[in-house]
A and B are shown apart, each in its own frame.
Chain A
Amino acid sequence: MSMTFDDGTFIRNEMVEPLPPPKQRIGAVAWMRENLFSGVLNTLLTVLGILAVVWVVPPLVRFMIIDAVWTGENREACLGPEVGACWPFIHAKFGQLIYGFYPISERWRVDIVFAAGALLLVPLMVLSWPFKRINAFLFFVAYPVVAFVLLTGGNINASAFLLERFGLIGGLVGDAQIGGVNLVFWVDYVLTTLLVMAAIGGLIALLGGSGRSAAITTLWVFLSLGLVIFIWDVDVGLDYVETRQWGGLLVTLVIAVTGIVASLPLGILLALGRRSQMPVVRLLSVIFIEFWRGVPLITVLFFATYMLPLFLPQGTNPDALLRALVGVALFSAAYMAEVVRGGLQAIPKGQYEGAMAVGLTWSQMMRLIVLPQALTLVIPGIVNSFISLFKDTTLVLIVSIFDFLGQLRASFTDPNWATPVTLYTGFAFAGVVYFLFCFGMSRYSLFVERRLNTSHRH
């Protein structure tokens, strides 16, 4: 009991204990009343929504499942009136949609690449599983190298690195081949490494830095690059499959995964460059970003495919798929850079000062304090870019690379399967496939967002 006095003073004698909140009306009817029919406008919208569902869903289900044809050998099966989706068509073309014109006897190589990718990606995505470091190394470093050998067959016949391009080595060692590996290239490589080491070391030492450590860093870079080239160069006994034969989902995934994996680190570097205090770095980053953002992807692909060879010296003719890959990666890196920059700008100045005050260097500060927070903030934007990149891969069709959609459209021309519903069936299937990938990315990003949002920011 508390006492109130007539003169307006008050003294509390007993504290009020917390009580449970008033009982709400629970149950389906109460939920519907609150969420669906809480007013005239909402009731109207609910009714319209139900009408839309009734209008769209039953015909869709009828086309895709009830009226659909499930078995058959050719177009005969799908001709009759009132016929729904022609699934035998997808079944017959399935291999082509996945592998393109990859030789049928070699398709197991693609299967291994798919399986290995999934096996490495899943444990990487489950945040609570251990061995993230080694897992990330396997997925981001070892996997691409091995996948390259499996898909192309390796044995790239490296013949000249730098010095031999001026004809300096060939006369020295002759035309020696050891196990399918060209000795000229490796003599060239070792000598170039030593030259570059000396040049960089000398330059750094001249500028007053530690020439020795610079030279050693250079050596490590060349060693790892050399190892990769060596693995690609050794004849492992696989047939060569040129990228022109690749197609279907294989190409879609190769472009999308390369684009995604390359664009994030590149984008982060560009975003940091754009916020750098060094004017030259900032200017170069701005020019790069604005150039790639100002040009449509189609133009980039056209340029890479048809015009680049005109500018490159005779004899250097990089692979068409590789050129498209680089174009897509740089294009999406520019977008990624702006997304990441948005995150960097949201980090308060105090975080930088706190990090500097405890003695972290600039790169430690960025790696440990700023980027983890900035990237977490912009996960929705990053995944948005990934999804749009995934769908934009279909544009490589215009430079005659047949990705999943391109392969699908190519299969429409098969007179064996020419029926009125072939087109609808194909696009319905493509829609489902793209939706599964994009929806998967979207859901996964929501999961990561929730998991990382443990910081309870103030």
Chain B
Amino acid sequence: MSELHSTVSPEELHAVHTPPGREVAVDLVGVHKWYGEFHVLKDINLKVHRGERIVICGPSGSGKSTMIRCINRLEEHQQGTIIVDGIELTNDLKRIDEIRREVGMCFQHFNLFPHLTILENLTLAPIWVRKMPKKEADELAMHFLTKVKIPEQAHKYPGQLSGGQQQRVAIARALCMKPKIMLFDEPTSALDPEMVKEVLETMVSLAEEGMTMLCVTHEMGFARQVANRVIFMDAGQIIEMNEPEPFFSNPQHERTRLFLSQILH
């Protein structure tokens, strides 16, 4: 099983295991979603506590991305309730904006703004959404750029950076809004193998600080290291949810076993 952790060093394995709090950060109750006729999410029930780190895996098309995109309303759910940070998601635009301010997100393809410098990418939301003075926003941005270890790139444009650097900028951009919850939608799947490690390290250090995280990823080493719970999804439903140790060593559902055997060899 050690090949599995090729991206994360063994010392780091013991780094994180802070117990999560009892306060509920995200609550999905009986959530359903359809794309036209197609039933993508079926009866999703998930309670994420503050400080908890959830890794979601599953085959493509299983609805895992759709599920976390429902949490900040990039996708609309049609049935059930989603409560984020105590606010229920409805069609009320004010509530949606309020939730998006508290929920940071990183995408597979980074979605940085190519016409702005790295620094401007980071300060945009604090300045316009949090109404922060520019100087303060710049300092905040430099703080987080230093944290993701690329302060020297501040005045370049996204197109001049490598994929791994871009994804770290994207993480820093989300952090600049001081979010209470972070969503990661396959943050390493578009990266060259050499760059996966630097992004995962950033995510690990974020986890160490007690950030509430929901990550869609197939980096099982990462899941084993930082996750409090691992979720396996297939065909739009949650098939199995367990702590990482029993999840990997003793998966219960037939479908989970098949999936794990295919990605873990």
The docked-state distance in angstroms from the alpha carbon of A359 to that of B73 is 11
CB of A368, distance to nearest CB on chain B (Å): 6
Contact across chains for B112 and A354 when beta carbons are under 8 A apart:
yes
Task: Indicate if B160 sits at the interface (CB-CB under 8 A).
Answer: yes
The docked-state distance in angstroms from the alpha carbon of A372 to that of B174 is 21
Chain A residues near B125 (CB, 8 Å)? 358-360
Q: Which residues 43-74 of A have a CB within 8 angstroms of B? A: none
Contact across chains for B101 and A353 when beta carbons are under 8 A apart:
no
Chain B residues near A358 (CB, 8 Å)? 100, 104, 124-125, 129, 173-174, 177
Contact across chains for B129 and A350 when beta carbons are under 8 A apart:
no
Q: Nearest CB to that of A364 among chain B residues?
A: B128
Most chain B C-beta atoms within 10 Å of own C-beta, residue among A360, A364, A376, A458: A458
Contact across chains for A360 and B129 when beta carbons are under 8 A apart:
yes
Q: Which residues 106-134 of B have a CB within 8 angstroms of A? A: 107, 109-115, 124-125, 128-129
Contact across chains for B114 and A368 when beta carbons are under 8 A apart:
no
Chain B residues near A456 (CB, 8 Å)? 114, 157, 159-160
Q: Which of A351, A359, A457 contacts B101 (CB 8 A)?
A: A359
0/1 string, A429-455, CB within 8 A of B gives 1: 000000000000000000000001011
Report the interface size for chain A: residues with CB under 8 A from the other chain: 23
Task: Indicate if B105 sits at the interface (CB-CB under 8 A).
Answer: yes
Q: Which residues 42-69 of B have a CB within 8 angstroms of A? A: none
Task: Indicate if A361 sits at the interface (CB-CB under 8 A).
Answer: yes
Chain A residues near B103 (CB, 8 Å)? 357
The docked-state distance in angstroms from the alpha carbon of A235 to that of B203 is 69
Task: Indicate if A115 sits at the interface (CB-CB under 8 A).
Answer: no
Task: Indicate if B217 sits at the interface (CB-CB under 8 A).
Answer: no
Chain A residues near B105 (CB, 8 Å)? 357
Task: Indicate if B23 sits at the interface (CB-CB under 8 A).
Answer: no
Chain B residues near A300 (CB, 8 Å)? none
Chain A residues near B72 (CB, 8 Å)? 356-357
Contact across chains for B128 and A351 when beta carbons are under 8 A apart:
no
The docked-state distance in angstroms from the alpha carbon of A376 to that of B111 is 18
Chain A residues near B164 (CB, 8 Å)? none
The docked-state distance in angstroms from the alpha carbon of A369 to that of B111 is 11
Q: Which of A359, A369, A373 contacts B100 (CB 8 A)?
A: A359
Contact across chains for B157 and A454 when beta carbons are under 8 A apart:
yes
Task: Indicate if B97 sits at the interface (CB-CB under 8 A).
Answer: yes
Chain A residues near B128 (CB, 8 Å)? 360, 364, 368
Chain B residues near A372 (CB, 8 Å)? 115
The docked-state distance in angstroms from the alpha carbon of A372 to that of B73 is 25
**CB within 8 Å for A356 and B112 given contacts A368-B124, A368-B128:** no
CB of B169, distance to nearest CB on chain A (Å): 11
Contact across chains for B111 and A354 when beta carbons are under 8 A apart:
yes
Chain B residues near A361 (CB, 8 Å)? 97, 129
The docked-state distance in angstroms from the alpha carbon of A368 to that of B173 is 15
The docked-state distance in angstroms from the alpha carbon of A354 to that of B104 is 10
Chain B residues near A360 (CB, 8 Å)? 124-125, 128-129
Chain A residues near B244 (CB, 8 Å)? none
Chain A residues near B236 (CB, 8 Å)? none
Q: Nearest CB to that of A362 among chain B residues?
A: B93
**CB within 8 Å for A455 and B115 given contacts A350-B109, A354-B107, A360-B128:** yes
Chain A residues near B187 (CB, 8 Å)? none
Q: Nearest CB to that of A454 among chain B residues?
A: B157
Contact across chains for B129 and A353 when beta carbons are under 8 A apart:
no
Chain A residues near B109 (CB, 8 Å)? 350
The docked-state distance in angstroms from the alpha carbon of A356 to that of B129 is 11
Most chain A C-beta atoms within 10 Å of own C-beta, residue among B73, B105, B107, B113: B113
CB of A423, distance to nearest CB on chain B (Å): 50
Contact across chains for A357 and B159 when beta carbons are under 8 A apart:
no
Contact across chains for B113 and A354 when beta carbons are under 8 A apart:
yes
Q: Which residues 355-392 of A have a CB within 8 angstroms of B? A: 355-361, 364, 368-369, 372-373, 376
Q: Nearest CB to that of A361 among chain B residues?
A: B97
Task: Indicate if B158 sits at the interface (CB-CB under 8 A).
Answer: yes
Q: Which of A355, A364, A452, A457 contacts B159 (CB 8 A)?
A: A457
Most chain A C-beta atoms within 10 Å of own C-beta, residue among B111, B160, B177: B111
Contact across chains for A353 and B159 when beta carbons are under 8 A apart:
no
Q: Which of B97, B100, B107 contacts A350 (CB 8 A)?
A: B107
The docked-state distance in angstroms from the alpha carbon of A359 to that of B101 is 5
CB of A454, distance to nearest CB on chain B (Å): 6
Most chain B C-beta atoms within 10 Å of own C-beta, residue among A359, A360, A458: A359
CB of A293, distance to nearest CB on chain B (Å): 30
Chain A residues near B111 (CB, 8 Å)? 350-351, 353-354, 357
CB of A238, distance to nearest CB on chain B (Å): 44
The docked-state distance in angstroms from the alpha carbon of A361 to that of B131 is 13
* Residue contacts A-B, CB under 8 angstroms, 7 given: A351-B113, A353-B111, A356-B73, A357-B104, A357-B105, A368-B124, A457-B159
> B residues touching A (Cβ–Cβ < 8 Å)?
72-74, 97, 100-101, 103-105, 107, 109-115, 124-125, 128-129, 157-160, 173-174, 177
> A residues touching B (Cβ–Cβ < 8 Å)?
350-351, 353-361, 364, 368-369, 372-373, 376, 452, 454-458
A-B contacts besides A350-B109, A356-B73, A372-B115, 19 pairs, CB < 8 Å: A353-B111, A354-B113, A355-B113, A356-B72, A357-B100, A357-B104, A357-B107, A358-B104, A358-B129, A359-B97, A360-B124, A361-B97, A373-B115, A455-B115, A455-B159, A456-B159, A456-B160, A457-B114, A457-B159
